[in-house]
Chains A and B, each alone.
Chain A
Amino acid sequence: MTEALLEVRNLSKHYPVLKRGILLQRKAAEIRAVDDVSFSIQPGETLGLVGESGCGKTTTARAILNLVTPSAGSVRFAGQDIVPVFRGSDRRAQLAIRRSLQYVFQDPYLSLNPRWTIGETLREPLRVHLADQQSAWQARIDTLLEMVGLEPHHAWRYPHEFSGGQRQRVGVARALAVEPRLLILDEPVSSLDISVRAQILNLLVELQDRLGLTYLYISHDLSSVRFISTHVAVMYLGKLVEIAPVDTLFATPGHHYTRALLSAIPVPDPGAASTRIALQGEVPSAMNRPPGCPFHPRCAAALPVCSREEPPLTAFGPGHRLACHNPA
């Protein structure tokens, strides 16, 4: 087995909930947005990270990039733990990591500066990372635009002059500007029309082949995850509950939450019998997470042990790990 490009170990991000006293604030509780999450991605692979809104997918991604500081755990990129690098003050080392790890945002309209032309937006990462190669910037911008299916003259336009799909192409181009090795795609197609989604997904697959990229693909849309991913990780309330190669996960899901998620994928056949598993109740607030398995209050197969002990993430099959006391 080759060395993992990205290895996340026991990553946690906890937010204190402050209560205001008469004079001072005190910590009343803690939201565990990301709790003890571990996974790794091999070079060239795509890990799909799925889960409901608010389960900690985006926080995980931002903690990996140190856009929020992790509370605990390590993030190893190409063998190097990058968390201490960002704690430190070695700017050159930080820049080297920023350059290899890039981020594509969910909403391309919000993530592009509305007052800057696309050319200016694309020039900025070059200015930061390739400051000494100023003469090559323009050619690089033209190449980037072409690479994502836009034209060089688009560099003069502003974000509001583009369609949603085109804007996300710009978002991808900006991430690719400095030749990263790993892209974190944070729901890159969720804000797009169905018809445009396929185009962007195809573009991402094509770019991955061409540039040898590794992806962490975050989404709640399982159809797109199945299309683009080689592996899938499922999150629930800040916890990783199951991780497996994509075919294994879709064929033999072990966690009851994963099964419910999979059954919710719409089947484009009106004659197909409905096998949908309807979950009872709401996702509990991350502030008062149920003891034991976080999913047990909504789980049909819950055992008495589930409310007492938190199931650890253990091997379930080849490459398949699962956190459940009573797997399906």
Chain B
Amino acid sequence: MGTLNYIARRLLFSACLILGVSVILFALINAIGNPIEILLAERPGVTEEIIEAVTKYYGLDGSVTDRYFTWLGNLARLDFGTSIIYNQPVGDMLWSFGIETLKIQIPGILLALGLSVLVSTLAATRQYSRTDFTVIAGAMLGHSLPGFFIGILLILVFSYWLGVLPSYGAYSTRNLLWDSEIADGLWHMVLPVGMLTIFNTATLTLLMRSSLVDVLRQDFITAARASGLPERRVVFGHALRNAFIPVLTYLGILFGLMLGTAPVTETVFTWPGLGALYIMAIQQLDYPLIMGETMVITVMLVGATLLTDIAYVVIDPRIRLG
């Protein structure tokens, strides 16, 4: 009975959170002033009348509260408005750029998860061995280096020195590699996904190793060994699941912050994703795009947190549904 109730309450709370963000976002955007004035004022031949007409055209002439509720109502119908720079529906743009972002972020997280489970198990079951120290040192290094630096190193090695992988973009602009759109797209994904995987693996491994070392010291692990359980089952059946809670927290954050790290990745690799789009939108003061994308980021972050909270309950029976 408790679980559904809990989920319902968390959902309600999440909705309030998103609403709160929308108010703050709208207030901040309005604090900048009328974007039409800022964009057009300095140009030759632009008169007061033109500015007024354009302002009216974009619906920026009403009172702040009126405009907020209009915007919110449209949002509820998934209508994000029209980009004032590209003159395209913001919803469509977010969708097509969003797919490109997910294409590198999701494999980057999933590959890292698999790799870090493997590597941290290897290290934690051989605590203080040479393997363990190597893993810790590698993970520390990967975690400490800025993401963009790893990206630039990858480009230097694989694109510049070895010349085997493309250094930018999601597709070849002239000739498709191997005359196949899929192969060409996958080949372009290798470096950005590689950079995300390295970075995520490092952090996840640090977390998972220390958590696993801690769990492996506990009595119920000795108990499992005393009952004659094969070591493999002791580690994978007992220890890993117990060691997973802190990792789960970080995974939730990773998924939520996907768009927070996207600008860096996508700038380094000139990847046509939401991160690059966000930077452009801010530089060009394309306010419907800024607001639309901010709301998407908010919903993703809140959604990921919600899913993490629900996953806790599933994975750990001790967590009270308070």
Contact = CB atoms under 8 A, between A and B. Distances in A.
Given A105-B219, A112-B220, A160 B318 contact: yes
Main secondary structure of the interface of B (DSSP, over half): helix
Interface string A85-111: 000000100110011001101110011
A128 B220 contact: no
Nearest to B221: A113
B218 interface: yes
Nearest to A120: B237
B136 to A, nearest CB: 16
A98 B226 CA distance: 7
A308 to B, nearest CB: 39
Interface in B242-279: 242
Contacts of A65: 226
A111 B219 contact: yes
Interface residues of A, number: 29
A126 to B, nearest CB: 10
B220 A110 contact: yes
A99 to B, nearest CB: 7
A174 B227 CA distance: 9
A152 B313 CA distance: 25
Contacts of A106: 219
B56 interface: no
B216 to A, nearest CB: 13
A67 interface: yes
A114 interface: yes
Contacts of B219: 105-107, 110-111
Contact of B242 (A62, A67, A95, A113): A113
Nearest to B244: A115
A94 B316 CA distance: 33
A129 B228 contact: yes
Interface string B211-239: 00000001110111111111000000010
Contacts of B242: 113-115
A125 interface: yes
Interface of A: 62, 65, 67, 91, 94-95, 98-99, 102-103, 105-107, 110-115, 117, 124-125, 128-129, 158, 160, 174, 177-178
26 contacts: A67-B225, A94-B228, A98-B226, A98-B227, A99-B228, A102-B227, A103-B226, A105-B223, A107-B219, A110-B218, A110-B220, A111-B222, A112-B220, A113-B224, A113-B238, A113-B242, A114-B316, A114-B318, A115-B317, A117-B317, A124-B229, A125-B227, A158-B318, A160-B318, A174-B227, A177-B227
